[in-house]
């Protein structure tokens, strides 16, 4: 009898999910015909979710409640910044609560939320929208298999599992 593979390092995992906030309100879902795929063991998911995936098999369903430190982290007040309005590109449609992506000095992409707008300044928040919040995932494992050498290479990992 062939035993089903279990999720471990270098597993290619396909799964669907529903995401709920601390009040039980669904805030995201993968859609049953649009599952997500990732290679397990390389911190490609939030830590608490990836940890709970370990050892699961195709067909398993589970629910995991995560505190902020195991999800998107605590809010970091240093990620709230005031910038001169003239520093915001003209193509950005500034609106309270609006979101846009910018590139910082190091070349990293930052997702920003507009918290306040004055004639001179804009207050922006670079925290993840779910930072500081407890969340719950309902997950269904659709498929588990060994990642191919090509999939590992695309991650910067050699086919023997060594990170480059």
Which pLDDT belongs to residue 164?
58
pLDDT in tens, 74-115: 999 999 999 999 988 888 888 999 999 988 888 888 899 999
pTM for this predicted structure: 0.80
Residues 6+ apart with CB under 8 A from 131: 68, 72, 73, 74, 75, 76
pLDDT in tens, 126-146: 999 999 999 999 999 999 999
Rg of the chain (C-alpha set): 19
Question: Which pair of structure tokens corresponds to residue 46?
Answer: 């939030």
Question: Which pair of structure tokens corresponds to residue 112?
Answer: 């920003």
Inter-residue contact 30 to 36 (CB < 8 Å):
yes
Whether the CA torsion 16, 19, 25, 27 is positive or negative: it is negative
> Any idea which residue has 């999800």 for tokens?
71
Residues 6+ apart with CB under 8 A from 88: 94, 122
């Amino acid at each position: 009898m062939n035993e089903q593979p279990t999720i471990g390092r270098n597993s290619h995992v396909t799964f669907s999910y529903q995401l709920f906030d601390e009040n039980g309100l669904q805030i995201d879902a993968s859609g049953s015909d649009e599952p997500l795929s990732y290679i397990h063991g390389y911190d490609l998911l939030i830590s608490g979710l990836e940890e709970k995936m370990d050892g699961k098999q195709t067909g398993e369903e589970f629910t995991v409640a995560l505190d902020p430190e195991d999800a998107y982290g605590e809010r970091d007040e240093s990620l709230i910044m005031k910038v001169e309005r003239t520093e915001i590109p003209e193509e950005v449609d500034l609106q309270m609560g609006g979101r846009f992506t910018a590139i910082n000095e190091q070349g990293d992409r930052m997702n920003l939320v507009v918290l306040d707008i004055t004639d001179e300044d804009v207050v922006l928040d670079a925290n993840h929208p779910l930072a500081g919040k407890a969340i719950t995932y309902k997950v269904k494992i659709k498929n588990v298999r060994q990642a191919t050498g090509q999939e590992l290479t695309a991650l910067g990992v050699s086919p023997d599992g060594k990170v480059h």
